[in-house]
């Protein structure tokens, strides 16, 4: 895996931290940037489309993928399985494509073992209080799920030093500008150290 010519761009944040919104906006700004659609066993949220937001599969199929080593990384997050297709990453990176990944801290740790020169960016909420409000405002989860996501957010925040860059998501437009600048620099020949 380490011989790839493309660049992995890994963005992580606690649930409700804004990474999905930011990654979608970044892809609109950089339409040539590849994107790895994760596989998950969780049910789709309202408005999510299979193959666009996630590849929604059952637990049996996901576990078969583990046994067959189909995942470049995988983890249990909030009680559901999530994974990244190893075949997709290998093919796209070998073709010189830069790939954006929107994954959790455990997935980042696994990928860095294979791709240590990845661009890693952690999106932080301004505070845990703001994060709690964002999760509540989202209105997609029951209160006990929000409480679990907040507990998990503390664990994820403790892993933020694993990332080369950290951006505080206070105002979405400013955060998107900072994210875009980091990715644009990394995608240039001088940003890659070439």
The bridge status of strand 99-102 relative to strand 39-40 is unpaired
Within the chain, which residues score under 70 in pLDDT? 1-4, 188-194
Q: Which domains does the chain have, with CATH numbers?
A: 8-187 (3.40.50.300)
Other CB atoms within 10 A of residue 16 CB: 24
Measured CA to CA, the distance from residue 155 to residue 152 in angstroms comes to 5
Q: What is the pLDDT of residue 152?
A: 87
* DSSP calls for 9-46: EEEE--TTSSHHHHHHHHHHH-TTSEE-PPEESSPPPT
Under a CB-based contact definition with an 8 Å cutoff, are residues 84 and 69 in contact? no
Under a CB-based contact definition with an 8 Å cutoff, are residues 8 and 107 in contact? no
Q: What is the pLDDT of residue 135?
A: 85
Measured CA to CA, the distance from residue 19 to residue 124 in angstroms comes to 9
- pTM as predicted: 0.84
């Amino acid at each position: 895996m380490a011989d790839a010519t493309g660049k992995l761009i890994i963005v992580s944040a606690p649930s409700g931290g804004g990474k999905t919104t930011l990654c979608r906006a970044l892809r609109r700004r950089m339409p040539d940037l590849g994107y790895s659609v994760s596989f998950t066993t969780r049910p789709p949220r309202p408005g999510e489309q299979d193959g666009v937001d996630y590849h929604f599969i059952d637990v049996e199929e996901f576990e078969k993928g583990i046994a067959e080593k189909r995942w470049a990384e995988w983890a249990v997050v909030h009680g559901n399985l999530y994974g990244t297709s190893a075949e997709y990453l290998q093919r796209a990176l070998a073709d010189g494509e830069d790939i954006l990944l929107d994954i959790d801290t455990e997935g980042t740790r696994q990928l860095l073992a294979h791709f240590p020169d990845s661009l890693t960016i952690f999106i932080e909420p301004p505070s845990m209080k703001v994060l709690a409000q964002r999760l509540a405002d989202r209105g997609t989860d029951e209160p006990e799920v929000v409480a679990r996501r907040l507990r998990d957010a503390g664990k994820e925040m403790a892993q933020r030093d694993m990332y080369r860059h950290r951006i505080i998501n206070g105002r979405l437009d400013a955060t998107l500008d900072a994210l875009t600048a980091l990715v644009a620099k990394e995608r240039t020949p001088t940003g890659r150290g070439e």
